[in-house]
């Protein structure tokens, strides 16, 4: 789908969002694509740029150009995927540790997108985007459930569900220290760190609302296994929130500061050598996207997917159980 178009707004469409009307009037144009084109000024109203949420008026003249779909500049790679579920609309994966979701500077290959393009070649045509089918992501060293859209309609609907906070995201994390109670909530805004721009922080003037509910699954001396329910989806949210309340995620190289770790050493020293060795060898944050619940974009059936714990995290927990 590409080319020029003109839409004269009728009375029946007055008051509706610009991106919604464009998507409804053009075949094979999703609302997310329409919003992107409006934001990039490929679509104008009475020759003036507008926002995607602009409420159109009767008689408005909407003109635009739909560019040809961009070809992704990276290719498919035969990287193994752990598939939990798939059909013609979605694919649900158990993401493994050490894999970046999509290409970026320093990661032009070996990503989840490269693997997806090999297993699902049609993904490259979805909206001409550089992140085909991707509607959410996990950090490089975080494991667990991820859903990917396999067509434009599914991508639009899943994106809407994530934006509307209709998707249930539950994680399991092994954290340092004894949590103060059995359940709780962390309500601290998250934004870019004021000094280190690669990190996120709860002490920032431009933080966005972030909510994390938690409950303790198991306790050991100096450690807790915690189930976390994300009510928002900020970058590094769980890692930042856990560190902010003094219980950083085990193995996290970014948010486990020396100051926080120093206060835990006296408890850690009580554990046997095998556990201490396992802790030292934990080369990544022990954080797992355990469960994902969403409404199927085509059948409208609510579905829940679970991913088993990765080997390293499962092994460390087993050692703690045996010596706790």
Q: Could you tell me where in the chain the CATH 3.30.2350.10 domains are found?
A: 72-163, 170-289+315-323
Model-level pTM?
0.73
Q: How far apart are CA 133 and CA 155, in angstroms?
A: 6
Q: Could you tell me where in the chain the CATH 3.10.290.10 domains are found?
A: 3-65
pLDDT of residue 286: 95
Q: How far apart are CA 257 and CA 169, in angstroms?
A: 26
Catalytically annotated residues: 139
Question: Does position 232 have pLDDT exceeding 70, yes or no?
Answer: yes
Proportion of the chain in helix, strand, coil states, percent, rounded to 5: 25, 30, 45
pLDDT of residue 207: 85
Which CATH fold topology does 3-65 show?
A: 3.10.290
Cα distances (angstroms) measured from residue 290 to each of 34, 42, 64, 209, 297: 34, 40, 43, 23, 21
pLDDT of residue 129: 54
pLDDT of residue 271: 62
Question: Does position 292 have pLDDT exceeding 90, yes or no?
Answer: yes
Structure tokens, 208: 């966005």
The CATH class given to the 72-163 domain equals alpha beta
Question: Does position 157 have pLDDT exceeding 90, yes or no?
Answer: yes
Backbone dihedral angles phi then psi of residue 178, each to the nearest 5 degrees: -95, 115
pLDDT of residue 266: 47
Q: Once rounded to an integer, what is the mean pLDDT over residues 76-85?
A: 94
Q: Once rounded to an integer, what is the mean pLDDT over residues 51-74?
A: 80
The total number of residues written for the chain in this structure: 324
Predicted confidence (pLDDT) per residue in 177-230, tens digit? 889 899 999 999 998 887 776 788 998 877 889 999 999 999 988 889 999 999
Q: What's the mean per-residue pLDDT of the chain?
A: 86
Predicted confidence (pLDDT) per residue in 94-149, tens digit? 999 999 987 765 666 888 988 998 988 877 667 555 578 899 999 999 999 999 99
The more confidently predicted of residues 78 and 3 is 78
Nearest to 279 by CA among 239, 216, 236, 222: 222
**The domain defined by 170-289+315-323 carries CATH number 3.30.2350.10:** yes
Question: Does position 262 have pLDDT exceeding 70, yes or no?
Answer: no
pLDDT of residue 255: 87
pLDDT of residue 167: 95
Nearest to 21 by CA among 197, 2, 50: 50
Give the dihedral sign, CA 222/225/231/235: positive
Assign 72 a pLDDT band (cuts: 50, 70, 90).
very low
């Amino acid at each position: 789908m590409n080319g020029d178009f003109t839409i004269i707004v009728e009375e029946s469409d007055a008051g509706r969002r610009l991106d919604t009307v464009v998507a409804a009037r053009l075949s094979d144009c999703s609302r997310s694509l329409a919003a992107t084109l409006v934001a990039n000024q490929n679509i104008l109203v009475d020759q003036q740029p507008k926002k995607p949420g602009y409420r159109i008026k009767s008689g408005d003249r909407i003109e635009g150009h739909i560019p040809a779909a961009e070809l992704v500049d990276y290719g498919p790679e035969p990287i193994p995927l752990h598939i939990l579920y798939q059909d013609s609309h979605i694919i649900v994966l158990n993401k493994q540790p050490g894999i970046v979701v999509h290409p970026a500077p320093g990661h032009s290959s070996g990503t989840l997108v490269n693997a997806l393009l090999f297993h699902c070649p049609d993904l490259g045509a979805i909206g001409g985007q550089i992140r085909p089918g991707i509607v959410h992501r996990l950090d490089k060293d975080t494991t667990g459930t991820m859903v990917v859209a396999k067509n434009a309609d599914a991508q639009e609907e899943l994106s809407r569900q994530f934006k509307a906070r209709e998707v249930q995201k539950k994680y399991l994390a092994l954290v340092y220290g004894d949590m103060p109670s059995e359940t709780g909530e962390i309500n601290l805004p998250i934004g870019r760190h004021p000094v280190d721009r690669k990190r996120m922080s709860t002490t920032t003037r431009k933080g966005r609302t972030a909510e994390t509910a938690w409950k303790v699954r198991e306790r050991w001396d100096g450690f807790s296994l915690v189930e976390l329910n994300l009510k928002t989806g900020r970058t590094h949210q769980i890692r930042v929130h856990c560190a902010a309340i003094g219980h950083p995620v085990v193995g996290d190289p970014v948010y486990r500061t020396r100051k926080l770790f120093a206060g835990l050493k006296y408890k850690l020293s009580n554990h046997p050598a095998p556990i201490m060795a396992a802790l030292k060898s934990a080369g990544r944050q022990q954080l797992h996207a355990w469960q994902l619940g969403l409404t199927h974009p085509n059948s409208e059936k609510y579905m829940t997917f679970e991913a088993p714990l990765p080997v390293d995290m499962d092994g460390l927990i087993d050692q703690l159980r045996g010596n706790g």
